[in-house]
Amino acid sequence: MLENARLQIKPILPGLILSLAVAIAAKLLAIFMPQLGGATLAILLGIILGNTYFKQPNLDIGTKFSESRLLEYSVVLLGFTVTFQTISHMGVKGLVYVILMMSTVIIAAYTLGRKLGFNEKMSLMMAGGNAVCGSSAIGAIAPTIEADDTEKGQIITLVNLLGTVMMLTLPFLGMHLFGADLLAKSALLGGTLQSVGQVVAGASLVNAQTVQFSMLFKITRIIFLVVVVFIFEQKVRHDGLVSEKKANKKLPIPWYVMGFFIICIVNSFLPLPDVINTTAHFISTWFETIALAAIGLRLDFQKFLKEGPRFLLYGLSVGVVQTIAALIFIFFLHI
């Protein structure tokens, strides 16, 4: 058993150690550049190093582990800093905002995709990835609609590119338009950015409180993944684009969302010692920074350039729609 564990851990170490080293370097640099912060510096350092010195294939397993697993653990630990009282700040308006945003993005991304010559399944994956939670949503949608692996990879690349651009621009737009309005900035970021990592990274450009509230909007979107997968499956079946094999009835809600809610429930009803909340916050912050460093290290600009102008136009168009829709709904609902 120990030998098996060692064999499983060994391939992870190179990429994990590199991600940790970048995170430590970012934290140290943040002492001299506090206006940027450790999280932002981690992803920026990762992007620079990952596209120059650290392209070795043996790093992929470890950086993938750091990007996905450590960020998932960070989200679970975030539950120690959130209670139902915190969630109530989102209110009914926040829920309506999420539903309006998701519906708008799905319709717009699907329609734009078809107009630009993308097939039904690619358009649906683009719609779901942008409306819900990036690569994770595409991973849940693809097998249900029997999407081609190559097309799946192309859409994941496009969604990640769009999310990265928005992650580095929307926080500044939010601060410019909304100033000190915490909920409005959080709605903008949590309601638009594609992946959990991009929400955390983008909100980290503002402050820790924005990370917390942005994640409430993001997790609400993730919960609706079940509904999105079901609707998309029914659409492609109605259009005769999938076989009549028995559908997979496993609910596509990620385990870390369930973990977040369980801890949030405990934290809401049982008074936990401050040392637990403080320790959870400390570990969560480090996991988050390491994960963001890994996201930067894995961001390959050459892949994006290979996709061609049609893909880039599709991504840019969807991003513009998302941003404009978010601003309209935030102002309209007075969030």
Provide the pLDDT for residue 173.
96
The predicted structure's pLDDT at residue 331: 95
The pLDDT value given to residue 224: 84
What pLDDT sits at residue 177? 95
Which pLDDT belongs to residue 17? 93
**pTM, entire model:** 0.74
The pLDDT value given to residue 241: 66
SS (H, E, C) the chain: CHHHHHHHHHHHHHHHHHHHHHHHHHHHHHHHCCCCCHHHHHHHHHHHHHCCCCCCHHHHHHHHHHHHHHHHHHHHHHHHHCCHHHHHCCHHHHHHHHHHHHHHHHHHHHHHHHHCCCCHHHHHHHHHHHHCCHHHHHHHHHHHCCCCHHHHHHHHHHHHHHHHHHHHHHHHHHHHHHCCCHHHHHHHHHCCCCCHHHHHHHHHCCCHHHHHHHHHHHHHHHHCHHHHHHHHHHHHHHCCCCCCCCCCCCCCCCHHHHHHHHHHHHHHHCCCCHHHHHHHHHHHHHHHHHHHHHHHHHCCHHHHHHCCHHHHHHHHHHHHHHHHHHHHHHHHHCC
Residue 280's pLDDT is what?
Answer: 87
Tens of each residue's pLDDT in the chain, 335 residues: 555 656 678 889 999 999 999 999 999 998 888 766 777 788 789 888 988 888 888 898 999 888 778 877 887 887 787 777 777 778 889 999 999 999 999 999 999 999 999 999 999 999 999 998 887 788 778 888 888 877 887 888 788 778 888 988 999 999 999 998 999 999 999 999 988 878 888 888 888 889 889 988 998 888 888 788 888 988 888 777 666 554 455 555 667 778 888 888 888 888 778 888 889 888 988 888 898 788 788 877 776 677 678 888 999 999 999 999 999 999 999 98
**pLDDT for position 251:** 53
